[in-house]
Amino acid sequence: MANIKQKILTSIPEKTTAIINGKAVQGEGDNIFEVINPTDETKVLDLVGSDAEYVDRAVEAARKRFEQGAWSRAPIQARQEVLFKTAELIQAHREELAALDTLCVGLPYHGSTLGQTQAAADWFHYFGELIGTANDDLYQQLPNTKTLITRDPVGVAGIFPPWNIPLYSVALKTSAALAVGNSCVIKPSSQSPLSALRFVELLHQAGLPEGVVNLVNGSGSVTGAALAGHRDIDLISFTGGGVAGKLIATQAAQRFAKVTMELGGKSGNIVFDDASYERALDTALLAVYSNNGQICLAGSRILVQNTIAERFISDFVERVENIRIGDPFSPETELGPLSSKGHMEQVLSYVDVARSEGVEILTGGNHASGFDKGYYIEPIAVLADDNRLRVCQEEVFGPYATILTFDTEEEAISIANDTQFGLVAYLWTENVARALRVSEALRAGTILVNTPMQREKNAPFGGFKHSGIDREGGKWSLQFYSEPKTTVIPYKEFPIPKMGAEN
């Protein structure tokens, strides 16, 4: 892995700002963000924030291309060719793209970013196939009339991927938007800009007309606000935190722009005493500590039935203490550094929160030993006795598990639903009737029964309550990125009232 890491280091520009009309813009100005490698705290590059002028240029380019119709009115077969070619190119550059994300945010190369990059390629292939099988609707209830329902692209989409699944998210959103003919302006997180930059270059290499997809970089408060509030952005797809989500949704509402949002989570993982024990234990660890614990669908509240709680907690803590912490490029690493110094301090602050609330710290909570540089911490697990505590209600977004116990099925459901979030829920039981009862009662967008997280591309993904707005995936993505159009065509003349005519 040293070779791929060294290769990408030599190819990274000293600074960058945007890609507009197919051209890389190096940018100037004082609004500089240093992208820091969380493994050793060295600078990767300078990111020059795109101000409102750059955002306006990017949106103007996207709007012009949309109106010209080179992509928005291209035949389905022509769009498919570009989507399929993009999938091939992402696959061909899989190691490079994965390494860029690992370099910027410290996600394990073997355990996270390689898989995310493969999934990014798969989304382009999936939506390329899906638009070839989508059918228009035809209704004939009106006499001698055919009513045809087709779907048009909406216009210019603002794409906001997060830093914890950088390439995966931008590929999911962009592939669906492009599949139905939209133009896009992408605004990546300022922590993870490099894979998005390379991704846009690959789109052009695949044959996408220049200007259809543009990219701007910078802070949420300047670049993000300018993009979300731009009069020519017709729809917005955002994945990230609730605070930013509220601001973006408010701006979009001023001009009735469509939005889909995947926000936070504090998902419950219910383990009943009749669960497949080892599989439930394995998944409990994966659901909290994979992707360095920085994942919105983490099963970070583990609810264990009292009859097995002592054994489960003991085994869980033993496994947590054996998690291999190290360089994210190493094949042996299971937990790399957190994404930034600020985020590391935020996660560790919840150890103090736990102490202040009288919560038992089962393991972890310190800087990991053996590292002179980097944002490495020990994985954390705590045992709480009240779901109303902050460590049970607030999203930590790190390798931090909160364990609670319960006696009855009804109590487990009540605890799991007692949250402002509702993204996913995990459920472990060998009782089919119980699985059906509990999954029906849980208030979350995805219920995972006896399985770690799996993503069915044909299914909608999103959350209840504060976990989001609307859904993406499958036909739900195509519906979001398009507008239905009703065309009414009578094929036999019928009487039309003659207003104002003489009798």
Catalytic residue annotation: 262, 296
What is the distance of C-alpha 151 from the center of its chain? 25
Q: Helix/strand/coil (H, E, C) string of 335-367? A: ECCCCCHHHHHHHHHHHHHHHHCCCEEEECCCE
Other residues' Cβ atoms within 10 Å of the Cβ of residue 145: 14
> Measured between alpha carbons, how far is 344 from 333 in angstroms, rounded to an integer?
18
Q: Where are the alpha helices (DSSP H) in 274-408?
A: 277-289, 306-321, 341-356, 390-393
| Burial class of 418 by CB neighbour count within 10 A (0 to 12, 13 to 18, 19+) | middle
| Burial class of 22 by CB neighbour count within 10 A (0 to 12, 13 to 18, 19+) | middle
> Measured between alpha carbons, how far is 452 from 454 in angstroms, rounded to an integer?
6
Nearest partner of 70 among 209, 172, 259, judged by Cα: 209
Rg (CA), the chain: 25
The pairing of beta strand 137-139 with beta strand 145-153: antiparallel
> Dihedral of CA 463/162/353/287: which sign?
positive
DSSP H or E stretch at residue 103: helix 94-105
3-state helix vs strand vs coil in the chain, percent to 5 = 40, 20, 40
Cβ–Cβ < 8 Å for 472, 180: no
Token couple for 201: 């270059």
Cβ–Cβ < 8 Å for 378, 363: yes
> Measured between alpha carbons, how far is 120 from 169 in angstroms, rounded to an integer?
8
